[in-house]
Amino acid sequence: MKKIFLVDDSALMRSVLSDIINSDSKFHVEATARDGVEALEMLRQSNSYDVMVLDVNMPKMNGIELLQKLNEEKIRIRTMMASTDTMEGAKVTMDALDLGAIDFVHKPDRASACKGEDFTKEFLSTLWSVSISKLPTIVSVNKTEKPADKKIDKQIMQAVQKSTASISGNKIVAIASSTGGPRALQAVIPKLPKNLKAPVVLVQHMPVGFTASLAARLDSLSEISVKEAAEGDELQKGTVYIAKGGVHMHIEKNPSGKLVIHFKDGPTREGVKPSANFMYESLANSPYDEVVCVVMTGMGADGTEGIKNLKASKKVHVISQDEESCTVYGMPRAVATAGLSNQVVSLDKIAQEIVMNVGVS
């Protein structure tokens, strides 16, 4: 049974969320705290919890400040954000994920609205994926990376780009990620050059509203252009298109024969929406010579069936993230177990391998 530490300033919300957590025999609320100050004191004394469910907006010390303190004091705990602040792409969600929170749910404004079946299901599913994930690494609150590291990275990528300038063929990169993805993507997308000789389409499992914040964050860190995909976007080389939360992204030809993004609503697939399976399958009739599929950290098996179906009609090269560097080794494991992976590489090598496969203009 997983031990849960619940931190929320509302007594009613603590009661409602405790009932939801304890309703599943896999979990038990071991302790609660009313704010970040109380939570920090309790974690200093004993950190025997499997997951901390953390509110953002609290008196004395809020959730973001608590995560900063935990990093400063090198206290590692799997954290799931549950806050009314994590709505409509709030920047605070990205800040929490940057500071080591593993995943999040949007908590309705009213405690009574938390009792619905949809919220309960989403909450417990997210809690489970966080509970079986790797412990987060400590983040330096002031600087996440030493300038020397960035210099070495840049030198490696420049050498890679030089050696790949002669790569020919019309290719596309299609990335799938889930739990742990937003932070993992920060180790991949900012390393891609702006003259990458392929468009990049990306499905990250996120609710409606949050993918715009993810795109903005990645765009601010990257040379390559990153945007939340919009209906009718024409695919361009050197641009990353992130699927919108809450709808499935397909790549289709428009009436004038251009390849564009098209969104479709519909039921979830593999329990998620957007689904990477649909994205991969929609590339089956595209004019690309090769699809470079990248499957990164995440729960479940989204992407495996889609790649399998895509392989029946297209040349496909599959790069999957290794177990060691995954927050949750689910999606990459499913691809590797199905015998679909051409390469299994660590997170810090994924960008390099993408460039090695598609080249630069």
Interhelix angle 36-45/63-72, nearest 10 degrees:
30
Predicted confidence at residue 71, as pLDDT, reads 96
Is 139 inside any structural domain? Answer: no
Predicted confidence at residue 151, as pLDDT, reads 57
Stronger pLDDT, 240 or 212, i.e. the higher one: 240
The reply to whether 205 belongs to the active site is yes
Band (pLDDT 50/70/90 cuts) for residue 257 is confident
Is 349 inside any structural domain? Answer: yes
Instruction: Evaluate if residue 89 carries a pLDDT over 70.
Output: no
Is 142 inside any structural domain? Answer: no
Q: Which residues pair with 177 in a beta bridge?
A: 204
What is the chain's length?
A: 361
Domain CATH for 23: 3.40.50.2300
Instruction: Evaluate if residue 258 carries a pLDDT over 80.
Output: yes
State pTM to two decimals: 0.91
Domain extent at residue 122: 2-131
The reply to whether 233 belongs to the active site is no
Asked whether 62 and 36 are in contact (CB, 8 A), the reply is yes
Cis previous bond, 182, omega within 30: no
121 and 164 part of one domain: no
Average pLDDT rounded to a whole number, residues 325-336: 97
Catalytic residue among 35, 95, 233, 302: 302
91 and 157 part of one domain: no
The order of strands in the sheet holding 51-54 is: 27-33, 2-7, 51-54, 79-83, 103-106
Structure tokens at 131: 């509970």
Q: What is the pLDDT of residues 20-50, one digit of tens each?
A: 999 999 999 999 999 999 999 999 999 999 9
Average pLDDT rounded to a whole number, residues 190-216: 93
Catalytic residue among 205, 248, 250, 317: 205
- The residue among 356, 327, 285 whose CA lies nearest residue 135 is 327
The reply to whether 178 belongs to the active site is yes
114 and 157 part of one domain: no
Domain CATH for 208: 3.40.50.180
Predicted confidence at residue 160, as pLDDT, reads 63
Q: What is the pLDDT of residues 49-60, one digit of tens each?
A: 999 999 998 999
Instruction: Evaluate if residue 144 carries a pLDDT over 90.
Output: no
Q: What is the pLDDT of residues 261-298, one digit of tens each?
A: 999 999 999 999 999 999 999 999 999 999 999 999 99
Asked whether 324 and 356 are in contact (CB, 8 A), the reply is no
Percent of the chain with pLDDT over 70: 91
The total number of structural domains in the chain stands at: 2
Cis previous bond, 207, omega within 30: no
> What sections of 73-221 are H helices per DSSP?
91-98, 117-131, 147-164, 181-185, 210-221
172 and 89 part of one domain: no
Q: What is the pLDDT of residues 150-189, one digit of tens each?
A: 555 666 666 666 666 667 789 999 999 999 999 999 999 9
Give CA–CA dist 140/204, Å, rounded: 25
Give CA–CA dist 261/281, Å, rounded: 13
Catalytic residue among 178, 286, 320, 325: 178
Predicted confidence at residue 83, as pLDDT, reads 75
